[in-house]
């Protein structure tokens, strides 16, 4: 069974540009979570999507946004990139809330570098 | 506000020794406490998890001890091996109450197991 897959593996953008990161959850999982792992700041919760809806949002500015598609894959968009957005962006998936087996499994991440 | 405090920041253990990492949480609504292992350039991998109605859980060489009254939990790695050298993160969520598995992470412990 395939795990959580993220693309691209690496992404280099210029300050002010937009970045789009993609995530495919484990088959059968409906919830997708996005986290930012910046150097020295640990893992910070960004967004949670389930059944196509945004369920929760972390303490990040509105230029961090995303969506979830009918096949449960997800996209994270970061607009007006700033140098401090450079980080490893991790996607995790888990079964639907209340469906049991709520463990979250992570992908390998997308390394975003803003220059 | 850091809701999960993790210590130590780094740890060096001799091969065959016991590695102990501690975490403390503040939010009594947390009801699910996983530990993740992360190797450089990889996403975090779920290692073991515990619920607050259990005081200890063991899986192979890995044991979680949980103290609900003190709001503390710890990871013990028995017979530590060089292959265990990685960064370990504790986390907490309200997953059992159906609120999804939005994880609040500790700051991580870099473990090095020396020969």
Q: Which residues of A touch B51 (CB under 8 A)?
A: none
Which among B106, B105, B113 has a CA at the least distance from the CA of B19? B113
* Residue B10 CA neighbour count, 13 Å, CB half: 2
Taking an 8 Å cut-off on Cβ atoms, the answer to whether B46 and A105 are in contact is yes
- Let me know the angle formed at the C-alpha of B36 by B31 and B41, rounded to the nearest 5 degrees: 145
CA distances (Å), B17 to each of A12, A73, A79, B58, B86, in order? 42, 42, 48, 17, 15
The count of CB pairs under 8 A between chains A and B is 65
- pLDDT digits 0-9 by tens, A36-90: 999 877 899 999 999 999 999 999 999 999 999 999 999 999 999 999 999 999 9
Say how far apart CA B90 and CA B4 lie, in whole Å.
8
Taking an 8 Å cut-off on Cβ atoms, the answer to whether A43 and B42 are in contact is no
DSSP codes, A41-87: TEEEEEEEEETTEEEEE-S--TTEEEEE-TTS-EEEEE-S--GGG-E
Name the CA radius of gyration of chain A, rounded: 13
Query: pLDDT tens track of chain B, all 115 residues?
Result: 568 999 999 999 999 999 999 999 999 989 899 999 999 989 999 999 998 889 999 999 999 999 999 999 999 999 999 999 999 999 999 876 666 778 999 999 999 999 9
């Amino acid at each position: 069974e395939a795990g959580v897959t993220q693309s691209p593996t690496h992404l280099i953008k210029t300050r002010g540009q937009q970045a789009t990161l993609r995530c495919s959850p484990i088959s059968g999982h409906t919830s997708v979570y996005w986290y930012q792992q910046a150097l020295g700041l640990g893992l910070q919760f960004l967004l949670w999507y389930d059944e196509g809806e945004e369920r929760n949002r972390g303490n990040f500015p509105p230029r961090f946004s995303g969506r979830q598609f009918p096949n449960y894959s997800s996209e994270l968009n970061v607009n007006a990139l700033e140098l401090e957005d450079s980080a490893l962006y991790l996607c995790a998936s888990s079964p639907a809330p209340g469906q049991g087996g709520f463990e979250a499994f992570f992908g390998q991440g997308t390394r975003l570098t803003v220059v | 506000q850091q809701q999960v405090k993790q210590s130590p920041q780094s740890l060096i253990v001799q091969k065959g020794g016991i590695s102990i990492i501690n975490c403390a949480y503040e939010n009594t609504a947390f009801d699910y406490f996983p530990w993740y292992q992360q190797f450089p350039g990889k996403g975090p991998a779920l290692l073991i998890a515990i619920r607050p109605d259990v005081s200890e859980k063991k899986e192979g060489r890995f044991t979680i001890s949980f103290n609900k009254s003190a709001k503390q939990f710890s990871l013990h790695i028995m017979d530590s091996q060089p292959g265990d050298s990685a960064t370990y993160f504790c986390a907490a969520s309200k997953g059992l109450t159906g609120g999804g598995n939005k994880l609040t992470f500790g700051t991580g412990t870099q473990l090095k197991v020396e020969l």
